Structure 1
Amino acid sequence: MLKGRAFKFGDNISTDLIAPGRLVHLRSNLPELAKHVLEDADPTFAARVKPGDFVVGGSNFGLGSSREHAPVIIKMAGVSAVLAKSVARIFFRNAINVGLPVLVCDTDKINEGDELEIDLASGIIQNKTNGETLTSGKLPEAMLAILNEGGLKPYIRKYGDFQI
């Protein structure tokens, strides 16, 4: 069960808004880059986010380049999952590979600061602030296995080849 606060963003949050291109020189220093996560969308986000919190987007979250640092620094900031109405395919796959859950659901029913509880196995999202129950659909068993190990690399280190 994942629990945390919602940080709400709009539509079309690109990988450049998540990991600003002007900070490309920090790609070899991910802890420093994580201090700038989403600052072009919300300059206060990195300072306010706490471990376990959620990034909640609108449509087309993670569009743009295949900047794999984007989901990495979201996770490094302490975010336990990303929820959005729709997600760019490559961002989704990169996020799963680094152990960051991404759920597609109706985020209109989530407001900034709402307290959420998420059961990844069932795809049920409880908004404890307004009482709404949302569904994201179940993640495939293979993706849950990768997430449970913290990402694809830890999964492969543990099991060698893919086991599901």
Structure 2
Amino acid sequence: MTPSPIGRAFVFGDQIDTDLLAPGHRMKLEPDALAAHCLEAVDPTFASAVRPGDFVVAGLNFGLGSSREQAAVSLKRLGVRAVIARSFARIFWRNAINLGLPAVTLAEADQITAGDRLSLDLEAGRLTNETQGRSYAFAPFPDHLTAMMRDGGLIAHLKRSAQPETGAAA
């Protein structure tokens, strides 16, 4: 993958749980309507301010709480390019990856400030903060996970993998 287009950083603290991402009392809403309430308890303007290609940046244990996939779905529906955090709850991390939403563990996430302009190169394992002129390395994802995210998530990847190869025979 080549570096992503530049997106803005929306910065949150530690312990952002799934109920903040997809509020339990809103779970009967359709996915796009639910996404409109994503993170409203911490930043009421988030869902209306975030644009496709922007980044969510957080501290420790992002996505703790219930196993609700809607937490990652809400971020993806809003067009979030990736979540960058110091650490993730494992169930959120897996849900995000399965949906094709990169969840990047970065020890230096706390050095990113709100509004910083970021770009991400998953294959190289590099996040660049264009605003600060800094670049951060992270452990690249295994090839199969990078391919899955590139294809848009697990289901899209399996469908693509099941399609016969096209092309001229040798």
TM-score (norm. length: structure 2): 0.91
User: TM-score when scaled to structure 1?
Assistant: 0.94
Q: In 2, are the aligned partners of 1:84 and 1:103 still within 8 Å (CA)?
A: yes
Specify the alignment match of 1:16 in structure 2.
Answer: 19
The match for 1:117 is 119
Q: Which residue of 2 aligns with 1:52?
A: 53
How far did residue 6 of structure 1 move? 0.2
Match of 1:104 in 2: 105
Looking at CA atoms only, which structure, 1 or 2, has the larger radius of gyration?
2
Structure 1 residue 40, shift from structure 2 partner: 1.4
Q: 1:159 is paired with a residue of what secondary structure?
A: helix
- Aligned pairs (5 A) from 1:1-150: 1-2=3-4, 3-26=6-29, 29-105=30-106, 106-150=108-152
Matched-pair contact (CA < 8 Å) for 2:58–2:110: no
Q: In structure 1, how many angstroms separate the alpha carbons of the residues matched to 2:26 and 2:134?
A: 38
Listed one character per residue, the Cα deviations across residues 68-118 of structure 1 (whole Å, up to 9, x for unaligned) are 001011011010000000001110010010110010101111000000111
The DSSP-based 3-state class of the residue aligned with 2:27 is helix
Deviation at 1:135, TM superposition (A): 1.5
Quote how far apart the aligned CAs of 1:160 are. Answer: 2.8
SS of the aligned residue for 2:28 comes to: helix
Task: Please give the alpha-carbon distance, in whole angstroms, between the structure 2 residues aligned to 1:160 and 1:100.
Answer: 22
Superposed displacement of residue 137, structure 1: 1.2
Q: Counterparts of 1:91 and 1:59 in 2: how far apart (Å)?
A: 13
Displacement over 4 Å in runs of 4+: none
Amino acid at match of 2:127: I
Contact 1:18 1:41 in 2 (8 A): no
Contact 1:61 1:88 in 2 (8 A): yes
Q: Distance in 2 between matches of 1:110 and 1:92?
A: 20
Task: For 2:35 and 2:139, locate their aligned partners in 1 and report how far apart those are by CA, in whole Å.
Answer: 29
Which secondary structure state, in structure 1, belongs to the residue aligned with residue 97 of structure 2? helix
CA RMSD of aligned residues (A): 1.1
User: Once the two structures are aligned, what percentage of the paired residues are identical?
Assistant: 50
- Stretches of structure 1 that go unaligned for 5 or more consecutive residues are none
What is the count of residue pairs matched by the alignment? 159
